Every structure is written in structure tokens, then in C-alpha cells.
Structure 1
Amino acid sequence: MALLENLVLVFVAGLLTAVATGIGALPFFFVDDFSDRWNVGLWGVASGIMVTVSVFGLVNEGLASASSGFPTLLVGGLLAGVVLVEVSDRVLDRFDFGTDDASHHAGEPDTDGGVPIDNPGHDHDEIALEAKAFAEGDLKKLVLILGILTVHSFPEGVAVGVSFARLGLDGGVPVLGFAVPLLAVFMTVAIAIHNVPEGTAIAIPMRAMGLSNWRMVGAAIFSSLPQPIGAVIAFVFVSWAESFLPFGYGFAAGAMVYLVATEFIPEALETGAELPTHGHRELLVGFAVGVLSMLPIVYV
């Protein structure tokens, strides 16, 4: 019974981070659009939060959990996280997303025939495909999208799950009768905050396609549904194989930092390409805000 209760708590924590993605779509209830400068800044905030929670939270905890000597499992986890994201991205690159029209709405350059050229990556395609699927109510496409989004959301869920590894031990923060590890509180709050600008980025092309406000909120939450699933799987793994806990910390950290380096930052710079500083200033400011917003939680 205790295990079931723990699993429910971890699932709820992951679900809260997913619901936070929907908050990013709420501003469209009041405004019609966001400037490129604002969008780049939001990507910077998300990147700063991801890097901070990975380095100061997961890597630090992984080092503390590792046995004396070289942290082999932690380093192995870091590399495994990077490899998973890279291999998954290469597999996704083989998909024909079929988003000619949606890509145009999302602002991608088109040829005269409507076929996108100089495609900067699959992020725009995925978001545009999700927008189109929600607009058309296409269940098959939505299932495909959920699988695709798992690549991006699953590592964040893993980060939440492994942070609950010491659930119930002395020294935790009392939450609903549970002794929740401080790292778990920190990680859940951090991922939830990080998901807000992600939700905004997802909602932008949906606004261009004329989706209703509540559909945009639902689509944003839908994009993060793999997180509670990843949280439960990771929690079960590190609970049953506690000696592999450093590997779990490293895996989540490696995947998240790699996502920032290969997708978040390039996405931000692409969005800000027409700005006076090509988005570099807005990205740096946003990144700094993301880091500084997490430091008080890190040093609690």
C-alpha cells in the first residue's frame, strides 16, 4: 500500500508539471500575439532553468550518491541521456511530418509550391503538426505526436521521478503526510516553471491557425503528458535498484542539458534572427533570469 501511495504522489507531481505547460497558453486569453523579443526571452528562461536544475540539482545529488572514487555511474548516465536524445532526434528526422500549410502559419519559409525549404529542425514541424491535428481533431496524428513529444518530455519526467528516490526518509519536507525530499520539491517546481514558456511556444502557431483559447491550453498540456509517466517509471527504477541512482540523476541531467544546447538555444536564435542583436541579448537576459529564479530554491 505504501508503494502505491508513493507512486500516486510521484504521478501527481509529474502531472502538475504537465498542467503547468497549459499556463503558458493562458496569456492568449488577453493578447493576440507575442513579439519575437519576448519569445526569445522565454526560451532563454526555460534554458536557464533546465541547466540550473540539472547542474545544481541532479549532478550535485548524483555526486553525493556515488561511491568514493570516479563517479562512473553518473558519467555513464550523462552520456546515456545525451545518446538517447541524439538517437531519437535522428529517428524523428526520418519522419515526413506533412506540415506544409502549418509550417507556413508558424512562419517557416516556403517555396512557391508550398514546400518548406531550409528546414531548421523538427521542432517547428512537431508544433505545427500538433496544431493542425488539434484543429482537425485527427486522433491518429495526435497519437503520433504524443510519441514524438515523449522524446522531449520524458527526460523531464525522469528528472522528477529520480528526485523522489529518497521519499519517506528522514529529513524530507512534510507534504500531505509524506516526507518529500527537498530535491523533489525543487525539481517539481523548477520543471513546472520551465514548462510555462514551453506552453507559450506551443500555443503561438495554434493562435495563428485560429484554435480556440481552451484548445490551446489543452494542446499545451497534452504536449507534456509523457512527464508523469516518465516520473513513475524513473521512480520505480531507482527504488528497486538504488545502487543505480547516480545513473538516473546523470541520465536526466544529460538529456535535459543536451536538449537545451541542441534545441532550445537554436530555436531561440532562429526566432530572434531578425532582431537587432539576432536574439543574443534577449536569450542571455532570459537565461540569466532562469538561473537566478532557481538559485533561491537551490540554496534553501
Structure 2
Amino acid sequence: MLDILKFMETCSPITQTLIGTTYLWIMTAAGAATVFLPKKIDRKMLGGLLGFAGGVMLAASFWSLLLPAIEVSRINDVPVWMPVLIGFSTGAVFLWGIDKALIRFENGYPFKSLKNGDAKHSINMLFIGITLHNIPEGLAIGVAFASAAAGIHPASLAGAILLTIGIGIQDLPEGIAVSMPLYGEGMSRLRSFWYGQITGFVEVLAGLVGAATIFISLSLLPYVLGFAAGAMVYIVVEEIIPESKKMSDSKIPTIGFMIGFAVMMLLDVAFS
């Protein structure tokens, strides 16, 4: 961790964001690459990893995003709570709107060639949903690195790195969730892998947008930080926690969640 910190300290926030979001893309691709393996990954282990990622993301939403947003809000000529509340609510509503829109999405794109109509619809929903959900995750990485570089307390480089690691862990099963069903419906391993990994590429683009926000206008930063936090909390509650419990009916996901939250809290506070 210390070696990573030393290296990242020498990089600009844009480079840090590029490194971080490229890692997310690689993790998504690693999950998608499981279509080439002869055996499936143990679901209990995936449940524990998802729980850990959820704990990291929830803790990061507070220490790496909301607290810095509150600090930056003090420079605006509005009540301190207003930018954070607006951003947080908008992020949650944005994800809720995406979920609602996906339910109404009845066309056969992008996987029209699949013969099973029910499977085609489900896989379309999963592919589009994961791709869109990755946008606020990439955004969160960008604003986390930018906030740390700007010296906005209590944002820290260590916190941004750990947030990146946590999101990367939960990107692993997302790659699996797209590529495996496609392969199961008769698509080739290579094409299934391609569609699985491409869902992670949007995080690179979104991360650069998030990092650029601080250079455009510091007054916009609390709104963007709040938006990323609201979207991440929504993802944790709506997607990660339920999915981790589906993968394992034991206490492993809960234990993973508590460990992830504690580790993120410890590192973020210790290095802030």
C-alpha cells in the first residue's frame, strides 16, 4: 500500500484517475474472462468479496465523498448542507430512474440474435444496467483523486486508492454477470468476453469527467461529490448487498461487508 501511495503521489490527478479507472476496467475484464475457465468461481467467495466491496463503498461514500463535499460547500454563498443534499439526492434519483427505465426497455438490442426471448431481455437489461451503473462509480474515482490532490480535508490519496480497490472488487462479478449468461445462450467465448469487459470502459471516461470538474469550477465539486455518493449508496443498498446474499446464504457476505467498512474507515481516517 505504501509503495502504491509513493508512486501515485508523483502523478497528477488526471493520471491517477486514468490509472485507477483502467484498473476498474481490467477487473471487469478479469471477471468477463472467466468464460475461458473450465470451472466456475466459488459463489461463497464471490459473496464475501461483494460484501467487502459494499463495505468499502459505503464507508467511502461518507469519508471520501460526503465529508469533503461538506468542506468544499463552505466556499459557496449557500447553506453548507444544500449542495451536498442536492447532489446526493440527484445521484440516488438518477440511479433509480435508470432502474425504472430499464424495466420498460422491451427492445431486443443489443443482443437481438439470442433465440431465447426471456433470456435475451434479461441479458439486455443486465448489460445496459451494469454499463450505466458504472458511470457514477467512475465519476466517484475521478472526484476522489481530484479532491485529494486539491488538499480538501478529509479527502486523502489513500482513501481514493482504497475506494478504487473496493469498486474494482465489485466490478469482478459484474464482468462475470454479463459474459457468463451470453456464453450460456450460445455466444462464443470471445464475443461473450468482449461484451463483458466493455461495460467497464465507461468508468474510464466517467472518471476523467469527475477529475476535470475540480479544474472547471471548485464550486461545482460538492454537487459532483454528493452525486457520486448518492449513486454509490444506492448501488450498495439496491444491488451489492442483495446480490452478495444471493451468492451465499451464510454470514460470509455480512462479515466481508463489516471488514470492508472497517478497513476503509481506518485507512481513510489514518491517512487524511
How far has the Cα of 1:28 moved from its partner? 5.5
Query: In 2, are the aligned partners of 1:46 and 1:195 still within 8 Å (CA)?
Result: no
What does residue 125 of structure 2 align with?
126
- The CA distance in 1 between the partners of 2:252 and 2:122, in whole Å, is 20
CA contact (8 A) 1:33 1:204 kept: no
Q: Does 1:266 align with 2:265?
A: no
The alignment of Structure 1 onto Structure 2 pairs a total of residues equal to: 250
Task: Tell me, in whole angstroms, the C-alpha distance in 2 between the residues paired with 1:70 and 1:170.
Answer: 19
Deviates more, 1:148-157 or 1:59-68: 59-68
Deviation of 1:87 after TM superposition, in Å, equals 1.3
Q: Structure 2: how far apart are the matches of 1:261 and 1:240?
A: 32
Contact 1:58 1:250 in 2 (8 A): yes
The answer as to 2:72 corresponding to 1:62 is: no
1:163 aligned onto 2:163: no
Residue 284 of structure 1: aligned partner: 254
Q: What one-letter code is carried by the residue in structure 2 that aligns with 1:21?
A: T
User: In the alignment, which residue of structure 1 is the partner of 2:6?
Assistant: none
4+ runs of 1 displaced by more than 6 Å? 99-104
Q: Which residue of 1 aligns with 2:8?
A: none
1:83 to 88, 93, 97: 93
Counterpart of 1:219 in structure 2 is 195
Distance 1:125-1:280 versus aligned 2 partners, 3 A rule: farther
- Structure-2 change in CA distance of 1:6 and 1:73 (3 Å): same
Tell me how far apart the structure 2 counterparts of residues 47 and 124 of structure 1 sit (CA, whole Å): 23
Letter in 1 for 2:72: S
Question: Equivalent residues in 2 for 1:102-141 (5 A)?
Answer: 115=118, 125-127=124-126, 130=127
1:238 match: 214
> Retained in 2: the 8 A contact 1:46–1:197?
no
Question: Compared with structure 1, are the counterparts of its residues 266 and 192 closer, same or farther at alpha carbon in structure 2 (3 Å cutoff)?
Answer: closer
How much does 1:238 deviate?
Answer: 3.0
Query: Over residues 95-146 of structure 1, what are the superposed CA-to-partner deviations in whole Å (9 max), with x where a residue is unaligned?
Result: 1154899797xxxxxxxxx757xxxxx876534xx5xxxxxxxxxxxxxx4x
Task: Tell me the TM-score normalized by structure 2.
Answer: 0.74
- Alpha carbons of structure 1 residues 9 and 90: separation in structure 2 relative to 1, 3 Å: same
Distance 1:45 1:31, change over 3 A: farther
Computed over aligned residues only, the root mean square deviation of the Cα atoms, in angstroms, reads 3.5
Out of 77, 84, 89, the position equivalent to 1:74 is 84
**Structure 2: gaps of 5 or more residues:** 1-11
Provide the C-alpha distance between the structure 1 equivalents of 2:62 and 2:151, rounded to a whole number of angstroms: 24
Q: 2:7 matched to which residue of 1?
A: none
SS at match of 1:47: helix
Whether contact under 8 Å (2:29, 2:200) holds in the other structure is no
Contact 1:23–1:217 at 8 Å: present in 2 too? no
Q: 1:96 aligns with which of 106, 119, 123?
A: 106
1: distance between equivalents of 2:221 and 2:122?
31
Mapped partners of 2:161, 2:136: distance in 1: 17
Aligned residue for 2:146, secondary structure, equals coil
Q: Secondary structure at the match of 1:200?
A: helix
SS at 1:33 equivalent: coil
Query: Within 1, Cα distance between the matches of 2:142 and 2:125?
Result: 26
Q: Which has the higher helix share?
A: 2
CA contact (8 A) 2:94 2:231 kept: yes
Deviation at 1:12, TM superposition (A): 4.1
- Decide whether the 8 Å contact of 1:100 with 1:115 is kept in 2: no
Kindly provide the amino acid, as one letter, of the partner of residue 78 in structure 1: F
Give the distance between the partners of 2:13 and 2:112, measured in 1 at CA: 45
Is the CA contact (8 Å cut-off) linking 2:25 and 2:201 kept in structure 1?
yes
